[in-house]
Amino acid sequence: MTVEQAPNRSLQLTADGQLRHFLTLDGLDRALLTDILDTADSFIEVGERSIKKVPLLRGRTVVNLFFESSTRTRSTFELAAKRLSADVLNLDINTSATSKGESLSDTLLNLEAMASDMFVVRHSQSGAPHFIAESVTPGVAIINAGDGRHAHPTQAMLDMLTIRQHKGGFEGLKVAVVGDVLHSRVARSQIRALNELGAAEVRVIAPGTLLPRDVESLGCSVEYDMQKGMKDLDVVIMLRLQEERMEGALLPSEREFYRLYGLNQEKLALAHPECIVMHPGPINRGVEIESAVADGPQSVILDQVTNGIAIRMAVMSMAMGGQVAERNQKQAGRAQA
Amino acid sequence: MTALLDMNRLLDELEAGLREIMAARGVESPALIGIRTGGVWLADVMRKRLGLEEPYGELDISFYRDDFSRIGLNPKVMPSSLPFSTEDRDIILIDDVIMSGRTIRAAMNEIFDYGRPASIILATLVDLGARELPIQPDVTGKVLTLESHQRVKLRGPEPLHIELQETGQ
């Protein structure tokens, strides 16, 4: 299995470098990633007000298109859109049009005809959001909410926001991503973001059977022994064991995996004393992580959820802003011609 | 032009005007809010001059602007910070320059999302006219009429001074 190819950079950005789709972190430079984090900081403040809403996307329609089930990601996207004052439509595609034989393209064109401004897309096929942005509905802002094993860029960015909050920045940080890297779209986006933002070292810690073959090419070192890998860590990011995606015998047993790669207090004690513990959820307690650690003082897992709303508000408003700015420039150009 | 814009004199005018209107309205402990960036510097100065103990608030109106659908999101947005509740408070809202009135419209909408204030007094250092909305400051340091190629900008915070820019048209 190889690391999957990224879509081209220009698809996501307007001519003057503003975001207009958010499909992958590939091709987005440190300045833009930092803009996203800074904008999200402002939205965190909005989330602390008595009225947690701003009028930015008032009158716009956001469609949550989830071809794969999700609770946390979908609900935080929904809340993010509502806090931006958008109208939100949630479509669980598994149970609607496609079961009547309608093709993906037809479903999307119908939604576009309903004057939708943004699609938030989760799909089991890598590259599906990219395909939609490029070929199906280019005038609709597309936000990738997780595609196959390729990318989950909003999750990675909310993780970056959480790290920056707790560590002040990325300079000199040693970060490990632990567990099922093979099936994880989050891991790819995280490693990319950490490298672009200037972390000192990114390690993956996993058994060989749960690593993609050319994992180092993502920009990380590999450690098979978790006891060694935990040394000096500032941040440890646990991944969920995605057993529903596993084909064949990649693991001897859950218990064996937990013994070798589960995060417990003894292993955490090997890291830097102020090491923070992260997990994208949903947590398999006693499979990847011990409850005492997940609920312990070094855990920032619930901060990640709060930050997820702010990051999604930032990305949605920036992409929508890029779309409208571009549309206006085109209209102005046409008026002059 | 520079002589007309003696900063101390403008600040004296602003302070005197604020004291007068506060006395007339019976406002004793107002909450000060400055609009980023110039308004925040002025809020700092006025807080000291009026002898207010409470820290002032800082407003970034980027999420409330009415030109999002034309130019998109301001990439340099910073968090607003109001270290007090606006509910039932008498607010003094300060900005450096008023022109169209659109910034103040956005700022008032944002303030109401923090709670319903008892009243708002609007103070601006310079009023350039050219209003597009029915919004007028209660207190102004100076009313100015500029030529179409001229702009003014408050520079600061130390020292605070007004810069007259010729756009060369």
Q: What is the pLDDT of residues B70-86, one digit of tens each?
A: 888 988 899 999 999 99
pLDDT-based confidence at A7, cuts 50/70/90? very low
pLDDT > 80? residue B107: yes
Å between B114 CA and nearest CA of chain A: 6
Same fold flag, A9-151+305-325 and A153-304: yes
pLDDT > 60? residue B169: no
Q: With an 8 Å Cβ cutoff, are A324 and B81 in contact?
A: no
Give the architecture (CATH level 2) of A153-304.
3-Layer(aba) Sandwich (3.40)
Domains delineated in chain B = 3-166 (3.40.50.2020)
For residue B72, give the chain A residue with the closest CA: A321
What span, in angstroms and rounded, lies between the C-alpha atoms of A171 and B118?
47
Q: What is A9-151+305-325's CATH number?
A: 3.40.50.1370
pLDDT > 60? residue A218: yes
For residue B69, give the chain A residue with the closest CA: A324
Element (H, E) at A235: strand A235-238
Q: How many helices (H) and strands (E) does chain B have?
A: 4, 7
Q: With an 8 Å Cβ cutoff, are B68 and A50 in contact?
A: no
Evaluate whether A91 touches A65 at the Cβ level (below 8 Å). yes
Helix A30-47, helix A153-167: angle, nearest 10: 80
Å between A84 CA and nearest CA of chain B: 9
Query: Could you tell me the residue ranges of all domains in chain A?
Result: 9-151+305-325, 153-304
Q: What is the pLDDT of residues A94-148, one digit of tens each?
A: 655 555 667 888 888 988 998 899 999 999 889 999 999 998 887 899 999 999 8
Distances (CA, A) of A302 to A159, A279, B124: 11, 9, 43
Mean pLDDT of B17-28: 96
Q: With an 8 Å Cβ cutoff, are A322 and B115 in contact?
A: no
What span, in angstroms and rounded, lies between the C-alpha atoms of B101 and B59?
16
Q: What is the pLDDT of residues A268-322, one digit of tens each?
A: 999 999 999 999 988 989 889 999 999 999 999 999 999 999 999 999 999 999 9
Could you say which of B73, B109, B115 has the minimum Cβ distance to residue A318?
B73
Q: With an 8 Å Cβ cutoff, are A328 and B109 in contact?
A: no
**Non-local CB neighbours of A312 within 8 Å, separated by 6+ positions:** A76, A77, A80, A81, A143, A154, A158
